[in-house]
Structure 1
């Protein structure tokens, strides 16, 4: 399996300013003739989001191809229901445009970013608020302004500490039957983002703790993150993505029928 080269870092943008990642990520840049054909052939996906993304023009949007059908799987059920969506990380504004087209004109869409330059996108495809994703008071104020939230997409700094801080503040505020998605988690293996393959700070180590919490009925340890696992119905892991679905949890029961 091809691995990222460990060579000089490259600069990336984000909600916490300049950060670095191995240049080896560029090895995975698509250079074929058709984004649409590549996604369709590899992932057997031809939903509306594929057309929206592949035909997008205007403000820049950058997505890994395997993310597109995953987005549709979890965000698609909210279409036509005027959902409330928060995206952490505005960048060049193109992602907000994608969600507006996909979720529809009645969706309430907010984006947050620490970069003051992102104010230019406020009011175009959604509302933009400037602040840090690790600031609980700021995050709560945005959710209050939104009137609640159904979908949260963390495409922010991709730093381990920021990811955890946002999750611990926002997941309790997520509406019942809501979805919390964290992407670009390849950074969990990069020390420059606070991760590392065997590092305790690796977000996937944190997720393992949530899995244990979800199964607290069956072991003697107390829940470490009851504010999350206490209402987390499921955790889904994909390449560089973790999805948490929220709903009321009940003690498990079983029965016998005949």
Structure 2
């Protein structure tokens, strides 16, 4: 069965809902009904939050609880791209605790007033590598990047190119709202080169770079620990250490087991 026939068969079995251009905002009651059966701490913090407004897709909440559990309670250095109303910075402070260094950046000057110490906001563009590097230098380093900025493909690429080399080993780089990679007004399109989705696909190839001769596209394979994805969101872990590839048996195989 070729790709076209396979796709048509899948669509007959699983009709695709017309989501493009649809208003997907949920009421509070609808969002509560979609909560995880056993919510983690970030999901609990989000639904209990009162303060500056914050907005997240509901399925991001358990994603973050899985991806960020190793970082909680540590003095991490976080950079959030995109401040908007400032509520997200408050959520991250509650989640990571008092020892974290948390900075947000935004191109909107009004966002400078949408923050409370010890969180910090700097005004500038995520497409300006010098601004990004200066902000990270002020932070004293970088352990966690959350790109929830313009969602424009070229901006996402420029941010990744500037910030990935500055991310500490063991750190995490997250890109939100990657569905814009399919939409033309965000420089997107299905399988269009240069989008965040294609970037993440390339990083999977880069992670396996030891198995082919061509150069990696975005990062040396030694630097990529895991690539963790869900609907519209991806988390790329920078490897804490590089271990050469190799496999091992739990017990020495017998001739019979090798034959089977």
Give me the TM-score of the superposition, normalised by structure 1: 0.85
Checking the alignment, whether the CA contact within 8 Å between 1:189 and 1:196 is kept in structure 2 is yes
Distance 1:47 1:220 in 2: 42
Question: Cα deviation per residue 1:76-123 (whole Å; 9 max; x = unaligned)?
Answer: 222221211110000000000101111111211100001100010244
Match of 1:16 in 2: none
Partner of 1:30: 26
8 Å Cα contact 1:87/1:111 also seen in 2: yes
Rounded to whole Å, the distance in 2 between the matches of 1:60 and 1:218 is: 46
How many aligned residue pairs are there?
235
1:243 equivalenced with 2:235 (yes/no)? yes
CA contact (8 A) 1:151 1:180 kept: yes
Partner of 1:161: 154
Q: Aligned partners of 1:48, 1:222: CA distance in 2, in Å?
A: 40
| Contact persistence 1:235–1:244 (CA under 8 A) | yes
Q: Which runs of 5+ in 2 are unaligned?
A: 1-15, 253-260
Q: Is contact 1:49–1:68 with CA below 8 Å preserved after alignment?
A: yes
**For the Cα contact (< 8 Å) 2:77–2:144, is it kept in 1?**
yes
Alignment TM-score, normalising by the size of structure 2: 0.84
Q: 1:113 aligns with which of 99, 106, 116?
A: 106
- Secondary structure of the residue aligned to 2:39 is coil
Q: Is the 8 A contact 2:86 2:115 kept in 1?
A: no
The answer to whether the Cα contact below 8 Å between 1:188 and 1:195 also exists between their aligned partners in 2 is yes
Counterparts of 2:51 and 2:127 in 1: how far apart (Å)?
Answer: 30
* Higher Cα Rg, which structure: 2
